[in-house]
Amino acid sequence: MHTELTTIEITPKSNHQYSIIWLHGLGADGHDFENIVPELNLKAEPHTHFIFPNAPIQPVTINGGMEMRAWYDILERSKVDIDGIYQSATLVEQLIAQEISKGIPSEHILLAGFSQGGVIALQTGLNYPHKLAGIVALSTYFPTLDTLKTQPSIANKTTPIFMGHGILDSVVSIETSKAAYNTLHELQYNVQWHDYVMEHSVCIEEIHHITAFINTAFN
């Protein structure tokens, strides 16, 4: 059991007002999305602390037990380690708490994640007891979604959620992602859907849409 996450961080150029915690996908690390910061061209960038955590290194069953950075174990294509998701969400909550301890209101903290990282962003954000600025969930799915039906956290019921996915994605099927979106929409979460002609990745058009989303969330 890991007790805290190591991170790659980009500190604010001016006074710290906002924080973005961005979670990478399976087998990557915190550097994976570091280069997206200048591409986003956010209005609040000079005042934003960017935190890119490294997932713990652990064996991944579906990859022959090979050890790699993973937010949770994947046992087979459609079966994941739910306890591992909860454990990683707890670690991300600690990062949120660190930002709040610096005087940043929770409403100025945004979670973003790609693939496995998107799962943790959704799990953490939608169950967090204080309102966040927003959640960006890219090329991902939501295996713990059913808990929101039985024990929803009211604090982030209206928090804006951006879901984006590639229609050519062969790693995480767009159908799985769209099903999560549909359920969130039916549960009346403030969620928006975008799809793109791309594989399991991020494209320029999506980056522009993410920028607009974050600019609005940090308004």
CA–CA gap between residue 94 and residue 206 (Å, rounded)? 29
Evaluate whether 141 touches 162 at the Cβ level (below 8 Å).
no
CA–CA gap between residue 125 and residue 201 (Å, rounded)? 22
Q: Is the dihedral of CA 194, 199, 203, 207 positive or negative?
A: positive
Could you say which of 106, 115, 139, 177 is catalytic? 115
Could you say which of 16, 47, 194, 200 is catalytic? 200
Q: State yes or no: is 169 an active-site residue.
A: yes
How many residues can be counted in the chain? 219
The 8-class DSSP code of residue 34 comes to: T
Evaluate whether 172 touches 163 at the Cβ level (below 8 Å).
no
Burial class (CB in 10 A: 0-12, 13-18, 19+), 23: buried
CA–CA gap between residue 105 and residue 79 (Å, rounded)? 36
Q: Which residues are catalytic?
A: 115, 169, 200
